[in-house]
Amino acid sequence: MPGKKRAFLVFALAAAGCGTSGGGVKPDDMAAAQHREEAARENAAAREHSKEYDPKATVPSPFRATAGPGSGEYVFSPSVYNPTEVQLQRADEHRAHARQHEKAAEALERYEAAECFNFPPSTRAACPLLGPVARIDDVAAGVRVTFVPGTHVDAVYAHMRCHYAYARARAFEETMSCPLYMRGIDIKRASDPMAIEITTGTPEQVQDLRARSREEAVYARRNGK
């Protein structure tokens, strides 16, 4: 491949990805599949940079003056360098960035696998039923949802956490059918065995979370709250 054409391909591959500059890659930056795609692009860019390295492209560097053994004398000693060695550095940078994306994807996939151990893919995607609900009370940073006696709260809780993990691994796509499952929420059992607490660490989301919880709830009685 001609040098100019290959250089353009390297640039195009790098531009298509998220680049190697900036902070570290975080799992929630994008979906697991997108992390995999970015890793593939970064590895492809690394391969192209590696091709640009030519071990035979050594050239003399400018002469460097150093103090000689005698007073007022200088010895000019030439050295050599390879101007294509920078391509190896760039290849390493792309490979390191690819590994960050791979680790982020693995973290999301492990999280989903752990939370959805007993749920097949079709069930993971299904929106969990938030009910039958006896009442919903506001708590710090969210809500406490209390279910009616006889509800299998363990099963509701497990499905809710699984669906959240499923949504997180897909970057909370707009096509998801459960508006309750948004970034940054925490789903945990309450001290009351018949209740589940849903909270958020983002203060700006609290009111939205409370509203969505009440919209998604299926009450045991028409006026029960």
**C-alpha span between 166 and 189 (Å, rounded):** 19
Task: Provide DSSP, 124-148.
Answer: HHSPPPEEEEEEEEEETTEEEEEEP
pLDDT at residue 5, rounded to an integer: 40
Say how far residue 222 (Cα) sits from the centre of its chain. Answer: 41
Say whether pLDDT at 133 is over 60: yes
Give me the pLDDT at residue 11, please.
36
pLDDT band at 73 (very low <50, low <70, confident <90, very high): low
What is the model's pLDDT at position 177? 80
Residue with the bigger pLDDT between 201 and 17: it is: 201
- Residue ranges of domains in the chain: 3-56+83-115, 121-219
Q: In the prediction, which pLDDT does 2 show?
A: 45
Average pLDDT, the chain: 86
User: Which amino acid type is present at position 190?
Assistant: A
pLDDT (tens digit per residue) in 33-66: 999 999 999 999 999 999 999 999 988 766 555 5
Over residues 78-96, mean pLDDT: 91
Q: Which two tokens stand for residue 152?
A: 């299998």
Binned at pLDDT 50, 70 and 90, residue 8 comes out as: very low
Q: Binning pLDDT at 50, 70 and 90, where does residue 176 land? A: confident
Distance of CA 30 to the CA centre of its chain: 5
Is 70 exceeded by the pLDDT of residue 69?
no
C-alpha triplet 7, 8, 9: angle, nearest 5°: 90
Strand partners, 130: 217
* Averaged pLDDT for residues 141-150: 97
